Structure 1
Amino acid sequence: MQCEKQRAITSQQLMGQLPPPRVTPSRPFLHSGVDYAGPFQLRTIRGRGGRFYKGYLILFVCLSTSAIHLEVATDYSTSGFIAAYKRFTGRRGLCKCIYSDCGTNLVGADRELRNLFSAANKEWRALAQLLADDGTAWKFNPPSAPHFGGKWESNIKSVKNHLKKIVGSTTVLQEFRIYSVNKQ
């Protein structure tokens, strides 16, 4: 008679189905997740007369490579996000799809971009057609489901942890510099 322990079939862990953007190789930031972190206290200039204001980190995370891109926004508004998004796409390229939670500024940015696309002006129509050809789809997590954005939420936790270790309780100086390239 054989022992039950020797004949036992070991169980195998079944992996959950990941969405195609997470497992399909693509260029970085073609499929991105976005989230806000903050507020942080920023300062415009050093010394006396420097104004303090609230700033927010906007984290863009690539779903296929897990690379992150950080942008700074001075407010939690739709226009602040659109300015940061333009900086992001200027450096990393246009996204095919953006995933985010249902933050009011993110929903407002989506609405404002849709309104720009449907504007009646010929110039806006030409720009809208150009951007529609590159078309960025925006997908929102269901309300009250923050666990759907685990990829960017865990990166927010990591960025806050490292920023707290490096900066501590000091204020961050936001400097605007223009770099020139010497051609030789």
Structure 2
Amino acid sequence: MTLRRFVSRRGKPVEIWCDNGRNFVSAAKELNSFLKNNQQSLIDFATHEKIKFIFSPPYAPHFGGIWEAGVKSAKFFIKRAMGNSHLTFEEISTLFAQVESILNSRPLHPLSTSPDDFLALTPGHFLIGRPLTALPSPDLKTENLTTTQRYARLEQIRQHFWRRWQKEYISELQLRTKWRTNLAKLNIGDLVLIQEDDVPPLSWRLGRITHLHPGPDGVHRVADIKTTRGSIRRPVVRICPLPKAEDLQC
């Protein structure tokens, strides 16, 4: 039923990777027994549906390092954003759907090399063909909400998750190198993500570098950036270059 729900929502996948349930601690025995007894039936179903079903080797979580890291990061911040909140099934389903939207809105790669194109490729493009957006809502960061204000409390949790998760994502894009070297490889025309404070969920401010300002030692520490709202100037430590084609090939 889980697989059928996934296919109904996202379409039929070409490949499915399964970690054999080894990441489940309390239910590891039951899940491992289920997979052992039903693995062939799962593979037969996938073969009939022309889906390639791939099982990771036991005790090899690093085989799913990329998606496991994403799951770990999301779970870490969801737990801290929710705290001891008691949510109904509908409320937690809504929260998880909004968290899913936040994760799938992250910029991955420039869509083009045009200096006037400020759009980036996101997971949302693969799901719906365009960037994911969110309904506008007031900033509830400093509001003291009561237990009866459940809708506002849910929105406050979402905003809390967004603030913490997007900061971690930006920090992963930034290269922690010594300022005396030019290892950042910033060039005129590069699409960059601008680190801003207090931005609403799913709002990623992107821009193109128009000018780099080197210091006396020749190292670039300030850049002029063209955005949809005009030109701004930011220090290099506040901008995050998105991976380029040559970086992905490496």
Scaled to the shorter chain, the TM-score interval is 0.3 to 0.5
Q: What TM-score, normalized to structure 2?
A: 0.28
The structure showing larger relative contact order (alpha-carbon pairs under 8 Å, at least 6 residues apart) is: 1
User: Higher strand share goes to which structure?
Assistant: 1
